[in-house]
């Protein structure tokens, strides 16, 4: 990575709270979660704030980091998170493990780790169940759409 890219990432990491707020605003305004339009809004807003991130080197990395933050903040699931650049592939389980590890590090820095380990495992179970429920809902919606399409196609075949 170039020195300019490293400098930009360093500046962004120093202002991570602002990036979290930006992601929160963009996702709340977006009706489709963290889709391509929302990702473009994140890039556009960061560009307006003086961060030169709309480069082939930085854009995918920044969007992947924004996806991890959105995932950590609970706005999206691992299925909705932007993927890392091809050279930096991480599967969904690894992404969930990275988020979990970051949360554990934050808890250790806060100082109250023992009580929260039990709560974390319960939270992880609940989060996993919630994620599975969302996946099932998405699949049901897709199946319902496919059923409607099949009914329409069968209806069109009857008319001809």
Instruction: Encode pLDDT of 75-120 as tens digits.
Output: 777 777 776 655 555 566 666 776 777 777 777 776 654 555 566 6
Q: Give whole-number Cα distances, 47 to 8, 59, 119, 135, in Å.
A: 11, 11, 39, 34
Average pLDDT on 49-72 reads 85
The 8-class DSSP code of residue 15 comes to: T
**Exposed/middle/buried for residue 49 (C-beta within 10 Å: 0-12, 13-18, 19+):** middle
Domain span including residue 41:
1-89
Domain count, the chain: 1
- Does residue 156 lie within any of the structural domains? no
Q: How much is the pTM?
A: 0.50
Question: What confidence tens digit (pLDDT) does each residue in 26-53 have?
Answer: 888 887 777 888 888 888 888 998 888 8
Q: Is 99 part of a structural domain of the chain?
A: no
């Amino acid at each position: 990575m170039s020195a300019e890219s490293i400098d930009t990432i360093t500046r962004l990491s120093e202002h991570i709270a602002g990036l979290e707020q930006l992601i929160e605003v963009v996702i709340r305004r977006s009706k489709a979660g963290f889709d391509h339009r929302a990702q473009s809004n994140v890039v556009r807003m960061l560009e307006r704030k003086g961060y030169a991130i709309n480069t082939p080197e930085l854009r995918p990395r920044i969007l992947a980091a924004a996806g991890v933050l959105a995932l950590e903040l609970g706005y999206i699931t691992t299925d909705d998170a932007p993927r890392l650049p091809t050279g930096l592939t991480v599967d969904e389980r690894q992404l969930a493990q990275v988020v979990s590890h970051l949360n554990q590090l934050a808890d250790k820095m806060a100082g109250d780790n023992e009580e929260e380990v039990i709560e974390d495992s319960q939270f992880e179970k609940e989060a996993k169940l919630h994620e599975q429920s969302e996946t099932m809902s998405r699949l049901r919606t897709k199946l319902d759409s496919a059923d409607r399409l099949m009914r329409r196609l069968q209806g069109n075949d009857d008319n001809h």
